[in-house]
Structure 1
Amino acid sequence: MPKKSAKKSSVKRVQKDLYEAELQRLQIELVEMQQWVTSTGARVLVIFEGRDAAGKGGAIKRVMQYLNPRHARVVALSQPSDREQGQWYYQRYIERLPTAGEIVLMDRSWYNRAGVERVMGYSTDEEYRRFLRQTPIFERLLIDDGLILIKYWFSVSDEVQQERFASRLKDPMRRWKLSPTDLESIHRWEDYSRAKDAMFAATDIEEAPWWTIESDDKRASRLNTISHLLSSVPYDRLSPDAISIPDRPAGTDYQRPPRELFRYVPDIASRLATK
């Protein structure tokens, strides 16, 4: 169980101005990478796993920020329905795999079975052992079919995790992130550590290795994630199509209807500006 401390951690963070400049550069490259994915019909699946409050969501947000949502999406599944519980375990994930020209980011994945389900007792021992046997086979099949699969594990210290939980508790916009399972993870820190070690031992295969991201410094972890993701996709920079913005044609005899005929959203912003 982690030690509780009132002190703030002494994590050294990347300077904000340096972070923002490098993030912008990397996000431009992400857009270029997506153009290659779309053009070539490649399929890219990126799995984000790790402890609660380890920074997965923030990293996913920065990866997605400027990508074309028609060719990139986030998959974050809720608890399986009764129907899904009767399926082959991987089935509901298979339905959400990327198609040609698409990038999919999984905010947690089939590895729930080796993590929270194992620790919290939501799956049986036999289901767990079957998962460890089948997952390397399953992932090799995906890769053999041409899928680009990248797996990230976000690692956070107990001290920083405790701080982030406390911060969420005080923040009305992020309090929803604190679930009973999240809070239970404080008591089960070592159980999750053992589960992660066993998961790595069984599923850290040459074709689809685990990549660990130290995430006590969120800024650094985001930069490191995007940089590694770019290096893991064998894309080429494509020359953009030439685009010419035409001159706006001269007006004709069109007459706009009176404004009074339309409903407008109340302009509360103008009241703020006058205060």
Structure 2
Amino acid sequence: MEPMNRKEYEAVLDPMEEELVGMARWARSTGQRIVVIFEGRDTAGKGGAIQAVRERLNPRQCRTVALSKPTEAEQTQWYFQRYVAHLPSAGEIVLFDRSWYNRAGVERVMGYASEAQVEAFLEQAPTFEKMLVEDGILLFKYWLAADQAQQEERLRERLEDPLKRWKLSPVDLAARDKYDAYTQAREAMLKATHTEWAPWTLVDFNDQKRGRLTLVRDLLDRLPDLQVEPVPIDFPELGREPQAERYSVLKPIAPFPIP
């Protein structure tokens, strides 16, 4: 299948963005809480997928959670504790750029967690998620899949592009030699945590544009009827000529020169 170009991608995404705005309006009007988990290998495309979901939404309603490594205090807490603090309130949408599944993936493969901790997580995660779902949260879990050849290409792109260099970490480089170990960890995770109440959805992200469209379409299709009409806004005529901005104390800096 041929990769999509930008024009083709935007032509398909634009009407979906209108549906996403409608979804946010529905969540706000009904008080629904929505959690979407984005997991996958390094460079799979989690950031771009999250951007596709949230770009047109109110950032006060839809927020991304991307936690750094736990502090010393957090390391002594119940593992799920620091994630609970970021769950949505009524009408909110939370997108997890990696989530509690760090324990089953990078922490396991890189040796940051013991096997006993990982096994405890795999046993507890379905119960934890059942509690969330039974409390009314709509929970969606996506695994973004990409072949190793794509991973290598994207890592090199990060290395060579100064605007993407910040995305390249020592953990990313170490993951290159642990592709099989990550595969084994993923399969164990899916086997233990793919449940009736919180199933996983795998999306092919070898073509990232097509992957984003697939994910957004699936998310929208799995939500209830989102038809909530926007609140009418009375916007009368101004009644006078528009005024130019005036300054009495300071003046704006010079405009940027366009060649």
Q: TM-score scaled by structure 2? A: 0.95
Give the equivalent residue in structure 2 for 1:190: 180
Matched, 1:262 2:247: no
From 135, 139, 158, the equivalent of 1:149 is 139
Contact kept? 1:42, 1:147, Cα under 8 Å = yes
Matched, 1:13 2:3: yes
Give the equivalent residue in structure 2 for 1:124: 114
Q: Distance in 2 between matches of 1:257 and 1:187?
A: 60
Deviation at 1:62, TM superposition (A): 1.1
* Identity level (%): 46
Contact kept? 1:43, 1:103, Cα under 8 Å = yes
Q: Distance in 1 between matches of 2:247 and 2:189?
A: 65
Gaps of 5+ in 1: 1-10
What is the root-mean-square deviation in Å for CA atoms of aligned residues?
1.9
Matched, 1:41 2:37: no
Instruction: Tell me the number of residue pairs that the alignment of Structure 1 and Structure 2 aligns.
Output: 259
Gaps of 5+ in 2: none
Counterpart AA for 1:220: R
Contact kept? 1:37, 1:235, Cα under 8 Å = no
Matched, 1:97 2:98: no
Give the equivalent residue in structure 2 for 1:57: 47
Q: Distance in 1 between matches of 2:53 and 2:160?
A: 27
Deviation at 1:257, TM superposition (A): 4.8
Q: Deviations over 1:112-163 (max 9, x none)?
A: 0000000011011111110011001000111011110000000000101100
Q: Deviations over 1:48-89 (max 9, x none)?
A: 000000011101011110001111100000000111111100
Give the equivalent residue in structure 2 for 1:3: none
CA 1:184/1:257 → structure 2, altered by over 3 Å: closer, same or farther? closer
Superposition pairs of residues 14-29 of structure 1, within 5 angstroms: 14-29=4-19
CA 1:226/1:262 → structure 2, altered by over 3 Å: closer, same or farther? same
Matched, 1:217 2:211: no
Q: Distance in 2 between matches of 1:38 and 1:210?
A: 26
Counterpart AA for 1:262: L
From 181, 203, 208, the equivalent of 2:171 is 181
Aligned residue for 2:183, secondary structure, equals helix
Aligned residue for 2:103, secondary structure, equals helix
Counterpart AA for 1:229: L
Counterpart AA for 1:79: K
Aligned residue for 1:188, secondary structure, equals helix
Q: Deviations over 1:10-43 (max 9, x none)?
A: x721243221111011111000011000000000
Aligned residue for 1:114, secondary structure, equals coil
Q: Distance in 1 between matches of 2:226 and 2:168?
A: 41
Could you tell which deviates more after superposition, 62-71 or 100-109?
62-71
Aligned residue for 1:234, secondary structure, equals coil
Give the equivalent residue in structure 1 for 2:123: 133
Q: Deviations over 1:174-212 (max 9, x none)?
A: 111100001111100000000000000100111111100
Deviation at 1:229, TM superposition (A): 0.7
Give the equivalent residue in structure 1 for 2:194: 204
Deviation at 1:234, TM superposition (A): 1.2
Give the equivalent residue in structure 2 for 1:158: 148
